[in-house]
A and B are shown apart, each in its own frame.
Chain A
Amino acid sequence: MLVLHSQDELPDILPGQFVQVRADGAKNTYLRRPISVHDVDYEHNNITLLVQRVGEGTKAICDSEIGSVLNVVYPLGNGFSVSSDWKSVLLVGGGIGAAPLLYLAKVMKIKGLSPLVLLGGKTKNDIIRIDEYRKYADVMITTDDGSLGEKGFVSQHSVWNLREFDHIAVCGPLPMMKSVAAIARQKNTDCEVSLENMMACGLGACLCCVENTKEGNLCVCKEGPVFNINRLLW
């Protein structure tokens, strides 16, 4: 978990938007890394991120000492939709990729919605920050090995047979998002997913992070990262 503190007042940040972070001086990386916003504390001007050590860039960020100054550009991209018309909303997250759903659940709760959160992971160790989610939502869990919650994938959870939803928001590994999108499509439920294609600029200038959609190649950083599945070719 990484808390970024801004000396200036934070701008409005939408759930699903992301920041780009670089530990300047890192020897082995060049570009900033896009990381979704996990939580926002406007009172103290803090943004919380969950950063997984996957490569050199995230390693350099994780190894930054407390109090160090990072190169950050934010807030970037478009957020998840939030509508007070929705009676039942499901947020589905996988592993650390679930990160933006905490802030989404918080904002939904503030707007009077009662979202359900479904978190999946390989084992119980991959399901993190459950108590934080519980502040804003009822939480359901699946693990591949059954060490916590129902055994299996999020797409196999019993809730799919018990409830219908007005809207589903998904963030996590690509195969998991695709499996949830397939269920949403089958049930004809409105569904948004958050993509994380490899990015360079984060501003829609370099056209590196494109997703091939029904409207052609679109920048995930600027047109997304949140897309309604109806726009995608999934």
Chain B
Amino acid sequence: MVNTTINLKGLSLKNPVMTASGTFGYGEEYADFINFSDLGGIIVKGTTLNPRQGNPYPRMAETPSGMLNAVGLQNKGVRYFIDEIYPRIKDFDTNVIVNVSGSTMDDYVQAAEMIGELEHIPAVELNVSCPNVKQGGMAFGVTCSGIEQIVSAVRNVYKKHLIVKLSPNVTNIAELALAAEASGADSVSLINTMLGMAIDAEKRRPKLSTVTGGLSGACVKPVALRMVWQVYKAVKIPVIGLGGISNATDAVEFMLAGASAVEIGTANFIDPAVSVKVAKGITEYCERHGFSSVSDLTGALEV
């Protein structure tokens, strides 16, 4: 028997597989396909203090082995989440984690504080890395001082597990991870989407209403893997790896590079049950390679 449990600095996961924010709705959308109890956690859609309509259509363009999105954090706001959605999802038999975003520092602090009062939400993932909003979002996440400000302010009001989701659109991601750690983050997750662009040559127009958008899917995996490795070597807090994970082998690679847990994102769009298959596949890998505990994979890369 392989021990699949993961301890993320106090946050206990049944297995290392979670679903990435923005690709899994509020979980309910996938209820026909999987049992949530088979996952380490689900990270629900980016939530902001106030409702957001997001960006105009078109918001998505398929690219080779991936896609660009420019949704722009469409959501009904944290109050709506607490009143309408939380009661429906709070008893899922897994860790339900809320991704929190904002335009101003105050937005982040207030939203995190409100989520912090919800008994069945054991963690928040602070999104300082969304490339698709005009203010806030990635602007905070691309400088160490921005990260320090936001993370320390949220840390003051939020007492449970605080994950900080990092942007790959930076020169040295390890420095930003260190800034998050120094400001009180319990863990870091990476990578959010990479800023990209697609053009319709025939129409001579951009494919997205916002011109640029966030690239995700299998195509970003090598970059994500490299960044997880760099961050793992720099920080002491757990690293959650994501970026193009499409199967169990991909997930194992992220763990070998230093991830303590992983998130499955865009692959959910191709196979709605992929997250559970990845979790099973990681266990099988451990059996095959003689690891008695999944957590032993973390950083087990032989260089």
List the interface of chain A (C-beta within 8 A of B): 22, 28-32, 57, 71, 73, 197-212, 216-217, 222
B58 within 8 A of A: yes
Given contacts A205-B269, A216-B53, 7 further A-B contacts (CB under 8 A): A30-B217, A198-B61, A201-B268, A205-B29, A207-B22, A207-B45, A217-B74
Of A28, A29, A198, A203, which one neighbours B272 at CB under 8 angstroms?
A: A203
**Residues of chain B with a CB closer than 8 A to A200's CB:** 60, 67, 69, 266, 269
B23 touches A210 (CB 8 A): no
Of A29, A197, A207, A211, which one neighbours B71 at CB under 8 angstroms?
A: A207
B57 within 8 A of A: yes
Of A30, A71, A206, A211, which one neighbours B69 at CB under 8 angstroms?
A: A206
Tell me the interface secondary structure of chain A in the complex. Answer: loop
A28 touches B25 (CB 8 A): no
Complex: A202 Cα to B61 Cα, angstroms: 15
Of A31, A73, A207, A222, which one neighbours B59 at CB under 8 angstroms?
A: A207
**Residues of chain A with a CB closer than 8 A to B74's CB:** 207, 210, 217
Give min CB distance, B72 to chain A, whole Å.
9
Going nearest first, the 4 A-B pairs with the smallest beta carbon separation are A205-B25, A208-B60, A203-B29, A205-B29
A205 touches B23 (CB 8 A): yes
B66 touches A30 (CB 8 A): yes
**Closest B residue to A56 using CB positions:** B62
List 23 A-B pairs, Cβ < 8 Å.
Answer: A30-B63, A30-B64, A30-B66, A31-B67, A31-B270, A32-B270, A197-B57, A197-B58, A200-B69, A201-B29, A201-B269, A202-B269, A203-B30, A205-B30, A205-B45, A205-B268, A205-B269, A206-B22, A207-B22, A208-B60, A217-B53, A217-B57, A222-B29
A31 touches B29 (CB 8 A): no
User: Which residue, B30, B58, B65, B270, has most C-beta atoms of chain A within 10 A?
Assistant: B270
**Residues of chain A with a CB closer than 8 A to B57's CB:** 197, 209-212, 217
**Residues of chain A with a CB closer than 8 A to B254's CB:** none
Of B54, B66, B217, B271, which one neighbours A207 at CB under 8 angstroms?
A: B54
Complex: A54 Cα to B237 Cα, angstroms: 48
Give min CB distance, B186 to chain A, whole Å.
26
Q: Which of B48-107 contact A (CB under 8 A)?
A: 53-54, 56-67, 69, 71, 74
Complex: A29 Cα to B269 Cα, angstroms: 13
Q: A201-B23, A206-B71 are in contact. Are A212 and B56 (CB under 8 A)?
A: yes
Interface size, B (range): 20 to 34
B24 within 8 A of A: yes
**Closest A residue to B44 using CB positions:** A205
Complex: A207 Cα to B26 Cα, angstroms: 12
Complex: A45 Cα to B299 Cα, angstroms: 49
Give min CB distance, B64 to chain A, whole Å.
7
**Residues of chain B with a CB closer than 8 A to A211's CB:** 57
**Residues of chain A with a CB closer than 8 A to B58's CB:** 197-198
**Residues of chain A with a CB closer than 8 A to B23's CB:** 201, 205-206
Q: A32-B269, A216-B53 are in contact. Are A209 and B29 (CB under 8 A)?
A: no
Q: Which of B92-141 contact A (CB under 8 A)?
A: none
Complex: A200 Cα to B45 Cα, angstroms: 15
Complex: A208 Cα to B58 Cα, angstroms: 7
Complex: A69 Cα to B7 Cα, angstroms: 40
Give min CB distance, A187 to chain B, whole Å.
29
**Closest B residue to A202 using CB positions:** B269
Q: Which of B245-290 contact A (CB under 8 A)?
A: 266, 268-272
Q: Which of B16-38 contact A (CB under 8 A)?
A: 22-25, 29-30
Q: A73-B272, A203-B29, A217-B53 are in contact. Are A209 and B62 (CB under 8 A)?
A: no
User: Which residue, B23, B67, B217, B269, has most C-beta atoms of chain A within 10 A?
Assistant: B269
Of B60, B65, B67, B270, which one neighbours A209 at CB under 8 angstroms?
A: B60
Give min CB distance, A10 to chain B, whole Å.
15
B71 touches A71 (CB 8 A): no
Complex: A207 Cα to B266 Cα, angstroms: 13
Complex: A209 Cα to B58 Cα, angstroms: 7
Give min CB distance, B118 to chain A, whole Å.
21
Give min CB distance, A6 to chain B, whole Å.
15
A31 touches B269 (CB 8 A): yes
**Residues of chain B with a CB closer than 8 A to A31's CB:** 62, 67, 269-270
**Residues of chain A with a CB closer than 8 A to B66's CB:** 30
Of B25, B53, B62, which one neighbours A203 at CB under 8 angstroms?
A: B25
Complex: A32 Cα to B268 Cα, angstroms: 11
A71 touches B62 (CB 8 A): no
